[in-house]
Amino acid sequence: MRTVAVRAGLLCAVVVAAAALGQAGDPRLVRATGTALIMLVLVLGLNIFIGNSGVFSFGHLAFMGVGAYVTVIARLSEAQKSFQLPDLPGGLAGLELSGPMAVLVSGAVAAACAAVLAAPVVRLSGLTASLATFAILIAANSVFENWETVTRGSAGLILDADPPGIWTLVLWACLAVVVAVGFQRTRTGVRLTASREDEIAARAVGIRVWAERGAAFVLSAFVVGAAGSLFAQYFSSLNPDSFFLTLTFTAIAILVVGGLTTVTGAVAGTLVVSVALELLRLVERGVYLGGWKVPSRSGLAEVGLALVLLGVLVVRPLGITGGHEIDRLLRRRRPRPPRRRTPAPEEEHGHPARTA
């Protein structure tokens, strides 16, 4: 518990400091800060499963989409529901939840969907498991596009509710940090980490790898579904493409850049990539360097992100954190006190020490 408290406290302090710096800027920077906080919740959700199990999942954005659509349905006003979703079933038409309750309900619904899909997925490993999760993403995207009664299809939905503030997003991000760090230190998390390092040895000592992966899969879907709820409330609009390939690969790239196996890597990767993307988008729109104008270049942000990912993979394959958590990084950099030399017995009695 002490390790969890120290590690989570340090990471939450980093998140709060970064949010304070972002909120001190112009409205565009405040908007980017809110986006980064939502991305942090998403990446932490991915870290709970991918980081601890070692199995790459390309389908978790499906659970983010589930959380987002549940939130919009739960928070739309009655007038907007009758306009945007006139054929919505009666039980859902009268549903109206507050912002925090919508986040929790969205996460629970996403976790329930993950529990149904977990049984076949968690028994797979390697490329087979990754392809299975990618199939989940494709199937979910097809449902989002064609279930017009509930999702309004490719036209998307617009939420008429007040967006959460930056500090509300900071609170949810810190809660996600605590959940990720806490799960990593539980017995389930430790056993899952052991299976990541050597699955055959883990099975040999009696670890039920499929059960540990299933628990992580469901908890991860809950956090990712909560991120989808925050996404819907913050941006107030969504469509099926919001939770497809672009955001999937961006989230995985953030996780790899920071460090795949650590919660610190998820936080550091989100901060680094968010700052890099904001600078690249600034250049993408065209900037002045002295008296020389850099012309706008469409797609520069995506190319820059790819170069950042490639550079990190070449220079630091374990991510910018090197596979270490923040408390261990600080402990390694703390100067060690000089070691006191123990005098020989002869020196203690005033006689010179003998040499061999």
Residue 110 corresponds to which tokens in the numbers above? 């996403």
User: How far is the C-alpha of 282 from the C-alpha of 276, rounded, in Å?
Assistant: 10
Backbone angles phi, psi at 157, to 5 degrees: -125, 150
Q: What is the pTM of this model?
A: 0.89
Which DSSP string corresponds to 198-263?
-HHHHHHTT--HHHHHHHHHHHHHHHHHHHHHHHHHHHSEE-GGGGSHHHHHHHHHHHHHH-TT-H
Question: Helices 60-75 and 27-46, interaxial angle, to 10°?
Answer: 120
**pLDDT at residue 12 in the model:** 95
| 43-47, 112-116, 272-276: segment of lowest average pLDDT | 272-276
Q: Tell me: the pLDDT tens digits for 242-261? A: 999 989 989 998 999 998 89
For residue 332 the two structure tokens come to: 């390694």
Q: Is the pLDDT of residue 356 over 50?
A: no
Backbone angles phi, psi at 238, to 5 degrees: -160, 160
Distance of CA 241 to the CA centre of its chain: 19
The mean per-residue pLDDT over the stretch 46-61 comes to 94
Place of tokens 């797609």: 299
Residue 50 pLDDT: 95
pLDDT band at residue 71, thresholds of 50, 70 and 90? very high
Rounded-to-integer distance, Cα 89 and Cα 6, Å? 47
- Mean pLDDT score across all residues of the chain: 88
pLDDT at 44 over 90: yes
What pLDDT, on the 0 to 100 scale, is given for residue 24? 85
Residue predicted with more confidence, 26 or 39: 39
**CB of 114 within 8 A of CB of 217?**
yes
The Cα–Cα gap between 155 and 74 comes to: 19
Average pLDDT (195-206) is 90
Q: Of residues 225 and 281, which shows the higher confidence score?
A: 225
Q: Structure tokens of 216?
A: 């992580």
Q: What letter does residue 156 receive in the DSSP assignment?
A: -
Please, what's the largest Cα pairwise distance for the chain? 99
Q: What does the pLDDT read at residue 355?
A: 47
Residue 304 CA to its chain's centroid (Å) = 21
Q: What percent of the chain has pLDDT over 90?
A: 56
CB 153: neighbour CB atoms within 10 A? Answer: 15
Name the phi and psi angles at 55, rounded to 5. Answer: -100, 120
Give the tens place of pLDDT for each residue, 319-331.
898 888 888 888 7
Per-residue pLDDT tens over the stretch 293-311: 666 677 777 788 888 888 8
